């Protein structure tokens, strides 16, 4: 690939570049942290239309689990352990830096050094968090395509409940930030494949019994109704209630609900279906991973 470098300048030649379509824009950027030049290429990718779009999926965004989904048949839980541990680590490191910074003179050499270190640590953790979120949302979209889901229902973000008893304000802030980010990424990725995203009010949906509708607060991981003895995995109840609210289906056969399926983050988490093909010829190397069992390594029974 030959990139023009302005008039009377030698063009930049890039060897071993196998783009599937012509680039729209390219920019050579020096990454200070890695001390390397990176070529950023923008290519236009056609939006894909999926054929089967009759099904609806409700997604409950939460703190313990970033996403709990229900599609009328199955509950899918994205494990939040890794995210929460990264957030804890981030907050711990931030507090450590803040304490050290408060002890030294402002704008001194030590102060500046600490500030740089703080930025470096933050950037690294934020990148790790982003990686989890990107892989989870991509996996979700793959699952939707595979199961013919044409509408994704999300809770209205202003009314996010704090189901976990986190006391620290910083935790709350980062979770709020994460909810917005997850919702935005779901919206963007869904739009890319032609899935509609709807927002509904989700107040108190997690407390209502799926059978009789009475309110129950659960103290542990299991939901138990005091009036009718209905029992289920607590995290699924919110998503199922949202699904019921949106679709208006009252005759949901609760007795047939299967145990929730969990998706756990691994650094090689693959999508159930190949939908976000990398425009740069990277897929060939990774195809062995995508051809194998779609849930390999990523999914476990709860």
Q: How large is the angle between the packed helices 109-146 and 81-103, nearest 10 degrees?
A: 170
> Which of these segments, 119-127, 184-192, 206-214, 268-276, binds Zn ion (CB under 5 A)?
206-214
Smallest separation (angstroms) from Zn ion to the CB of 85: 35
From 19-27, 97-105, 158-166, 226-234, span contacting Zn ion (CB under 5 A): 226-234
Residues 60-99 that bind Zn ion (CB under 5 A): none
The residue among 193, 158, 149 whose CA lies nearest residue 48 is 193
CB 206, min distance to Zn ion, A = 14
To 5 degrees, how large is the angle CA 30–CA 33–CA 36?
40
Q: Which is nearer to Zn ion, 110 or 215 (CB)?
A: 215
Contact stretch for Zn ion (CB under 5 A) within 133-141, 146-154, 188-196, 211-219: 211-219
Residues 11-40 that bind Zn ion (CB under 5 A): none
209 lines the binding site for Zn ion (CB under 5 A): yes
Q: Minimal distance in Å, beta carbon 215 to Zn ion?
A: 9
Rounded Cα distance, 189 and 195, in Å: 8
Using alpha carbons only, how large is the chain's radius of gyration in Å?
A: 23
The residue with tokens 């680039």 is: 23
Binding footprint of Zn ion, residue count (CB under 5 A): 7
Nearest-CA neighbor of 115 among 101, 96, 104? 101
Is 252 a binding residue for Zn ion by CB under 5 A? The answer is no
For residues 235 and 245, the answer to whether their CB atoms sit within 8 Å is no
Q: Is 198 in contact with 246 (CB distance < 8 Å)? A: yes
Stretch that binds Zn ion, among 33-41, 147-155, 230-238, 241-249 (CB under 5 A): 230-238
Query: With respect to Zn ion, which residue has the nearer C-beta, 182 or 239?
Result: 239
Report the nearest approach of Zn ion to the CB of residue 236 (Å): 15
Would you count residue 227 as binding Zn ion (CB under 5 A)? yes
Identify which of 280, 275, 271 has the alpha carbon closest to the alpha carbon of residue 47.
Answer: 275
Pairwise CA distance, residues 177 & 197, whole Å? 19
Does 230 engage in binding with Zn ion (CB under 5 A)?
yes
Contact between 254 and Zn ion by CB under 5 A: the answer reads no
Q: Confirm or reject binding of residue 179 to Zn ion (CB under 5 A).
A: no
76 vs 225, which CB is nearer to Zn ion? 225
d(CA 54, CA 292): 27
- Residue nearer to Zn ion on the CB measure, 225 or 240: 225
Using DSSP's 3-state secondary structure scheme, residue 141 falls into helix
Stretch that binds Zn ion, among 63-71, 168-176, 229-237, 281-289 (CB under 5 A): 229-237
Would you count residue 222 as binding Zn ion (CB under 5 A)?
A: no
In the structure encoding, which two tokens stand for residue 62, read together?
């939460």
Given candidates 212, 254, 258, 280, which one binds Zn ion under the rule CB under 5 A?
Answer: 212
Cα–Cα distance, 85 to 90 (Å, whole number): 9
211 binds Zn ion (CB under 5 A): yes
User: At 120, is the secondary structure helix, strand, or coil?
Assistant: helix
Selection from 50, 52, 53, 25 nearest residue 39 by Cα: 25
Q: Does 228 bind Zn ion (CB under 5 A)?
A: yes
Residues in contact with Zn ion by the rule CB under 5 A: 209, 211-212, 225, 227-228, 230
């Amino acid at each position: 690939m030959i990139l023009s470098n302005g008039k009377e300048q030698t063009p930049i030649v890039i060897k071993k570049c196998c783009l599937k379509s012509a680039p729209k824009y390219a920019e050579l950027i020096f990454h200070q942290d890695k001390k390397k030049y990176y070529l950023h290429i923008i290519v236009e990718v056609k939006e894909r239309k999926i054929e089967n779009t009759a099904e609806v999926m409700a997604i409950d965004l939460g703190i313990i689990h970033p996403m709990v989904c229900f599609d009328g048949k199955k509950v899918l839980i994205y494990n939040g352990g890794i995210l929460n541990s990264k957030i804890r680590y981030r907050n711990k490191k931030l507090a450590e830096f803040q304490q050290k910074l408060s002890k030294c003179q402002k704008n001194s050499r030590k102060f500046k050094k600490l500030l740089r270190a703080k930025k470096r640590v933050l950037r690294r953790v934020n990148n790790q968090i982003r990686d989890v979120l990107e892989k989870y949302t991509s996996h979700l979209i793959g699952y939707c395509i595979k199961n013919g889901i044409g509408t994704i229902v999300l809770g209205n973000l202003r009314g996010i409940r704090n189901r976990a008893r986190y006391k620290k304000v910083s935790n709350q802030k980062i979770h709020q930030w994460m909810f917005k980010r997850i919702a935005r990424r779901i919206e963007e990725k869904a739009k890319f494949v032609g899935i509609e995203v709807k927002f509904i009010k989700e107040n108190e949906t997690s407390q209502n019994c799926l059978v009789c509708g009475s309110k129950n607060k659960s103290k542990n991981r299991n939901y138990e109704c005091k009036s009718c003895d209905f029992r289920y995995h607590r995290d699924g109840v919110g998503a199922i209630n949202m699904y019921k609210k949106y679709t208006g289906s009252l005759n949901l056969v609760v007795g047939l609900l299967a145990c929730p399926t969990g998706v756990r983050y691994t650094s090689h988490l693959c999508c159930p279906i190949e939908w976000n093909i990398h425009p740069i010829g990277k897929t060939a190397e990774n195809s062995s991973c995508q051809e194998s069992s779609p849930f390999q390594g990523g999914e476990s029974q709860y």
